[in-house]
Amino acid sequence: MADPVYKHLDLTGTSSDSIEDAVENAVRRASKTIRDMKWFEVVETRGSIVDGRVARWQVTVRIGFNLED
């Protein structure tokens, strides 16, 4: 078996609840169209503020997946 080769892409997930939910939302959505995802890396975390409170988390994740033969 050959050593795997990965492709990666960056996505930004959002959530009004938590950073973890923002990551999960990005991974879940990507899984609808990308096969054989293997890993993710959080590359940026930010959010929006409304009335002095955190309103929404925005987390950019790099998702790696195997290239098909």
In this structure, what CATH number is given to the domain that contains residue 57?
3.30.1660.10
Cα 63-59-41 angle, rounded to 5 deg: 35
pLDDT of residue 5: 87
- Domain-embedded: residue 1: no
- Domain-embedded: residue 61: yes
pLDDT of residue 1: 57
- Domain-embedded: residue 23: yes
pTM of the model: 0.87
pLDDT of residue 69: 73
- Domain-embedded: residue 53: yes
Structural domain containing residue 34: 6-66
Tokens of 66: 């195997």
Q: How many domains does the chain have?
A: 1
pLDDT of residue 16: 97
Name residues of the chain where pLDDT drops below 70: 1
- Domain-embedded: residue 33: yes
1/23 Cα distance (integer angstroms)? 32
